[in-house]
Each structure stands twice: as C-alpha cells, then as structure tokens.
Structure 1
Amino acid sequence: MLPNFIIGGTSAAGTSFLTSILLQHPDVYLPKEMRPEPHFFYYTDKYAKGIEWYQSQWFSDYAGQKAAGERSSSYLYHEESAIRIRKHLPDVKLIFILRNPTERAWANYRYTVLSGLEELDFEEALNIEPQRIKDETGIWKEVQPHDYTGRSYYGKQIEHYLTLFPWHQILLIGSEKLSEDTQNQVNKITDFLCVERLSDFEIPVSFTSLSVTDPGIQAACRNDLGSEKFNRIIESIRRKESDIERYAQNESEIELIIKLKQNLSGDKQVMDEKIRHQLNDLFAEDQKKLFALIDDKVDFTPWF
C-alpha cells in the first residue's frame, strides 16, 4: 500500500497536531511513529532507496483503512519533492497547513535554536540568511536549517504544486483556524479524505514551547551528546518526562542533561516588533500571489 494522502507541510504550523487527531479515526491509517518524519520525497539519500523501501518502511502494517497517509512537513518547501510525488503518486491528495508566514519564520528560528543549530539572534540570522543558504555544504545544503524565510513563501510553493496537481487534490488549512475552530477544520479534512466525520476526538496535548537562555550552551550540548541523543533529550524535556536521565551513559552526560534543563525556560520569547514589520513587508507580495491563486476556491483569510 502506498499513501493516498500526504500532510506535506508546512513546518512549525501544526502538522503533528493534525496527525494526532487523525490517528484517532478508525478508517485513517498513519504511521504511529513519525519521529523523525519520513521525508522520503525530500531527502535524496532516502529517495534513492526506492518506492518499495518507502512502502515497507512506513506502510507495512496498513490494515485496509480507506485513507492511508503520511506526514512530512518538508514537502511544501521543496520543489523537487513535488516532482517526485507526482511521479509516484499522481492521484494523491495533499493537505497543507499554512500559518502566518512571519510567525512561522519566528517559530522556525526558535526551534532551530532549541535544536542547538543556531547561535545568532534572529535579526543577525535574517541578515546573513542568503549567504548561509549559499554556503551550506553536504547534508546541510539539502536540509537548509537556517532558511527561516524561505519556508514561508506559500504563494510560490502552492503555485509550483499547481503545475503538477489539480486544485481538487489540494486542501489548504489555516493553522490558526485549526487551533481555534478545530472541529470544523477537521470536518473539512475528513470530507476531503472521503471518510466519516470525526466528532468525538481528544484534542492533543500542546507541549511546552521552550525558550533557550544561552544558544551557545545549547549548541555545545548538542555537540557533546551527539545529535540523535540530544534530540531525544530535548523532546523528553518538552514532554515533561520524569526519567530523562535514562539517556545518560555516564556522569558527564548526566551533567550535560542538567545543564540543558537549566538552559531552558517555559517563558515564551516575543518577536521584536521592528523585525515583525520587516517580515510582514517581505512576505506581502507572496501573500498576494497566494490569494490570487486561491481566489474563491478556498475559505482562507489574509494574515496581514
């Protein structure tokens, strides 16, 4: 079985929130463990393993559900992903969750800092973003962790997908509406997937959005612990798990975990208003493009 729907983005917009809801539907299949997400059509090394590998890796326990899908929040951002999806899944239904592009860029930056991959403040990071993108090498050239604004150009991204897929295969959902008007948005999604509406579901727990006190300490801890262990520890801290020390293999790693905890806080950082206005201006033309494409096909409200 290959997917007949994909939640393809965008990052930092609520794709995992939606996945947690759809997993409660008896006639919807999604791989329960998507950490990290499949990203099959995004990463060249994964795509090179072939469509059979993708199927066996993510859909081996499919049990006849009417709708079968996966979530990879990278696909909307990546033009080559769209081409690869069209090649293998020409009839697939695509769900894209779109968030205020300025807020999304800020959330993306904060998550990259949390991940130990960013030591600059937001303004500095934005100023050198084009050069960083150009200078990335190896796997980071494909990942592009510092392209905070690039992932927010929804007009450009949707325009590209529309060259490959018709509108009736694409559903756009506003992140803000999904959070504030969850039932009606879930109804749209289940109708789109041609499955019964889901009226009795649990709202997923919203885990703490942690703020980093010192990005340098965060980066050093990632380097010392290794990326895989570091990521597991951060996720456990976000989920307020009590036995985080289980990841430590020695006293030194216990000290690093303590240092990480002390470097994090639940106080939400607020974006500088000057930067907010600059980003709103930056995304204004692309937002016009998006809403010209949408026209009256989608019930969507401009962000600014």
Structure 2
Amino acid sequence: MKKANLFVIGASKCGTTSLYEILKEHPNICMSNLKETGYFAKKTNHRKNVNYESYYYHYDDEKVIGEVSPIYSELNVVPWVPREIHNYNSDAKIIYIIRNPIKRMESVWKQTMSTGHWREKIYEQKFGVNINIMPLDFKKAIFNYPPFLEASKYWEQIQEYRKFFNDNQIKVILFEDFVNDPDGVMANIYDFLGVEKVDVSNQDVHLNPSQGKTMINPKYKKVSKLLQEINKRLKMPYIIKRFVKSKVSKPIPQNTIEGNLKKDILNILEEDIIKVLSYADKNINYWKF
C-alpha cells in the first residue's frame, strides 16, 4: 500500500464527521476505517503497538488515502504532529475546516460534556499526554482546556503546518460554506485532491450535531464508572446500555458565549481571525460577530 497522502486536521465541531463520510464514498479515495486514528498525535509508547496501515486494510489502489483527526489541530497539546506527518509523507495534503470560533466553542462544550472530558483524563488515555480533567465551569473550560480557546487560534495552527508543507498542499475551508454550499465546497476539495468531481447533493452534512446530547449526571459519576467496567467485562446488550444511560444521564447545561466573555475572547482572537480569513481568501468580517 502506498502512504496516506491526505490529512483532515480538524477543527473539532466543524463538520469533520460529515466530510469524512462524503470522502469515504468517492471511488478514488480510501479513508481510514476509523475516522479519528489520532495516530500521529500519540506519543511513541502509545503508537508502538499500532500498525498504521491496518487502518487502510480495504485499500484498493485508490489515488487518495486519508484520515480525519481533529486532534491534529490542537498543537498546544500535541505540537509534534506537523513534523511527524511530514516525516511520514512530505507530499501529503492538509485540509483544515474552520468555523466561527464562538459558535465552535459553544458546540465543543456540549461535545466534551457528552464524551466525559470532565470526569476522565481523555488526552492521557488516548494520546499519552497528561492534561487535567476539564473543568465543569464553562468559563474556566474555555480558557484552560485545550479544545476551546487555544484550538480556536486557527492561524497559529496553520502556521505550524506551513513550516513543513507548502501552501499549495494546504486547503482551508469554512464550515459555514460547507453547510450552505456542500456541492461547491466538495468540488473545490476534489480539485485540490486531483480526483474527479462527484455529485454530493444527496449527502447529509449535518452529522454528529450538538443538539440532543446528554451527559452523565455528576452525582452518578462513580456509578457510571462501575457500569463501564462491568460493560467491558460482560459486554452488555445495547438496549440495556441505553436504558442504564437514560437513568444516569441528564441534559447538558446550555451555555452561550456573550457579553464581556465574548468581548474578552474576541480581543484575544482578533489578529488570528483576520490572518486566517485572509489566508482563506475571505472578507475579515465573514463571521459577523
């Protein structure tokens, strides 16, 4: 098998799941069987027992081979990723989906609450990086937990990739464009990848939405961990797991970024926003804050 040559690096909650599913359907693109391999974000000791090519066991001489891992654009946590990808394949192409950072962080809050970042060291489990558990306080999470404010410094992330890859190897697309004009955006992406255009008008670009997500009720935190261990050993049927989850879960508290908090965040991100929108050939007022 030839080397993977496409890396969709994120950002999280910017349509990466939808893009992955669409790319999977292209006859000349082989996407990893696992959407987020996170392989190049893993420290060496977390990577040594993984055969990267096993993610592409279904490869059948496609022109493009790729994966989608939003952790690759959280370089404040895993700064070695651009270098590692370059060492693996210096001819690879990079796609980066970005979104109004305020809306993205509100969505990330629901995602991380749902997936348990507030009760487990997810980064350590998956990548071998020791990051504290996410604060349950929304404002503290924004300023202190990696996928929020730091991961919204899109220009900072791109700059690190530009140290290793030429600009003609990097494509920045906007989540809002992807939602409003999926055909146009995908035609642009197919052209970037050098594959024939295909019709995506019947594809759903609203996969993995934030609406309706729930979280484990903090008062059942210990119980939920016990149930996780039981499930690992006994493999409970899905219907039982769903019933148990419904009993120990609750709706995620609704939090929005507005007022002084919004001003503080935009003051921090202002220069980054201007530069990344310019790089993406967009008007600097594109997001209309």
- Report the TM-score range of the alignment, normalised by the length of the smaller protein: 0.7 to 0.9
Q: What is aligned with 1:42?
A: 41
Unaligned runs of 5+ in 1: 130-144, 231-242, 249-253
- Which amino acid is 1:224 matched to? L
Please report how far the alpha carbon of residue 198 of structure 1 lies from its aligned counterpart in structure 2 after TM superposition: 1.2
- Rounded to whole Å, the distance in 1 between the matches of 2:230 and 2:183 is 36
Aligned-residue Cα RMSD (Å) equals: 3.0
- Rounded to whole Å, the distance in 2 between the matches of 1:214 and 1:97 is 29
Q: What is aligned with 2:281?
A: 299
Which residue, 203, 218, 225 being the options, matches 1:216?
Answer: 218
User: Within 5 Å, which residues of 2 pair with 1:123-272?
Assistant: 123-126=139-142, 129=144, 146-204=146-204, 206-209=207-210, 210-212=212-214, 216-217=218-219, 219-220=221-222, 222-226=224-228, 244-247=238-241, 254=243, 256-260=244-248, 263-264=250-251, 269=254, 271-272=256-257
In structure 2, the residue corresponding to 1:9 is in which secondary structure?
coil
Which range moves more in the overlay, 180-189 or 111-120? 111-120
Give the share of equivalent positions with the same residue, in percent: 24
Aligned length: 260
- Rounded to whole Å, the distance in 2 between the matches of 1:200 and 1:171 is 19
| Cα 1:106–1:27 shift into 2, 3 Å | same
| Cα 1:218–1:264 shift into 2, 3 Å | farther
Equivalent pair of 1:28/1:68 in contact (CA under 8 Å): yes
- Rounded to whole Å, the distance in 1 between the matches of 2:191 and 2:229 is 40
Please report how far the alpha carbon of residue 212 of structure 1 lies from its aligned counterpart in structure 2 after TM superposition: 4.2
In structure 1, the residue corresponding to 2:32 is in which secondary structure?
coil
Please report how far the alpha carbon of residue 148 of structure 1 lies from its aligned counterpart in structure 2 after TM superposition: 1.6
- Rounded to whole Å, the distance in 2 between the matches of 1:28 and 1:84 is 22
Please report how far the alpha carbon of residue 299 of structure 1 lies from its aligned counterpart in structure 2 after TM superposition: 3.2
| Cα 1:100–1:220 shift into 2, 3 Å | farther
In structure 2, the residue corresponding to 1:189 is in which secondary structure?
helix
Q: What is aligned with 1:99?
A: 99
Q: What is aligned with 1:85?
A: 85
- Which amino acid is 1:299 matched to? D
Please report how far the alpha carbon of residue 11 of structure 1 lies from its aligned counterpart in structure 2 after TM superposition: 1.2
Please report how far the alpha carbon of residue 244 of structure 1 lies from its aligned counterpart in structure 2 after TM superposition: 3.7
- Rounded to whole Å, the distance in 2 between the matches of 1:33 and 1:229 is 22
| Cα 1:109–1:23 shift into 2, 3 Å | same
- Rounded to whole Å, the distance in 1 between the matches of 2:193 and 2:222 is 44
Q: What is aligned with 2:51?
A: 53
